[in-house]
């Protein structure tokens, strides 16, 4: 799904507010889906029409407390596998997430 410019979002909402067209007609006129129009109207009611990308998606499970534990554990026992690290810290995240956290900390 491509990101719509703020100008286009505002024009879509304004067209719906004019009540001269249905949501389906507005969607066809601007080349977006019916669902996108409904979502923009809902988004405007709850917050605003600006971009939501920083807030969307899955949130990281490896919080700063885990990062401190990762640094300490790897410093003390550098030969541990990802599975062993995950087990020792009682982490609920996936192994690729553990690896990514290590990489972000500059560790291998």
Q: Give the integer Cα–Cα distance in Å for 31 and 83.
A: 48
| 14, 24, 33, 101 from 19: Cα distances, Å | 9, 12, 18, 50
What residues does each domain of the chain span?
Answer: 6-55, 64-104
**pLDDT over 90 percentage in the chain:** 29
pLDDT at 52: 61
| 7, 39, 54, 69, 70 from 64: Cα distances, Å | 38, 33, 19, 9, 10
For the cut 70, the answer to whether the pLDDT of residue 57 exceeds it is no
Q: Give the integer Cα–Cα distance in Å for 18 and 13.
A: 9
| 24, 58, 62 from 67: Cα distances, Å | 48, 18, 7
For the cut 70, the answer to whether the pLDDT of residue 55 exceeds it is no
* For range 43-56, the mean pLDDT: 71
Return the C-alpha torsion angle 89, 94, 100, 103, nearest 10.
40
In this structure, of 44-48, 57-61, 82-86, the range with the lowest mean pLDDT score is 57-61
pLDDT at 25: 93
pLDDT band for position 28 (50/70/90)?
A: very high
* For range 17-40, the mean pLDDT: 90
């Amino acid at each position: 799904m491509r990101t719509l410019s703020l100008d286009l979002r505002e024009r879509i909402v304004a067209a719906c507010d004019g009540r001269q067209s249905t949501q389906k007609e507005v969607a066809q006129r601007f080349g977006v889906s019916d669902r996108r129009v409904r979502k923009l109207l809902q988004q405007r009611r709850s917050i605003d029409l600006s971009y939501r990308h920083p807030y969307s998606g899955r949130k990281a499970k490896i919080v700063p407390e885990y990062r401190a534990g990762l640094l300490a554990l790897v410093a003390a026992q550098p030969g541990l596998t990802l599975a062993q690290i995950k087990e020792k810290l009682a982490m609920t995240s996936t192994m690729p997430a553990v690896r990514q956290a290590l990489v972000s900390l500059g560790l291998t």
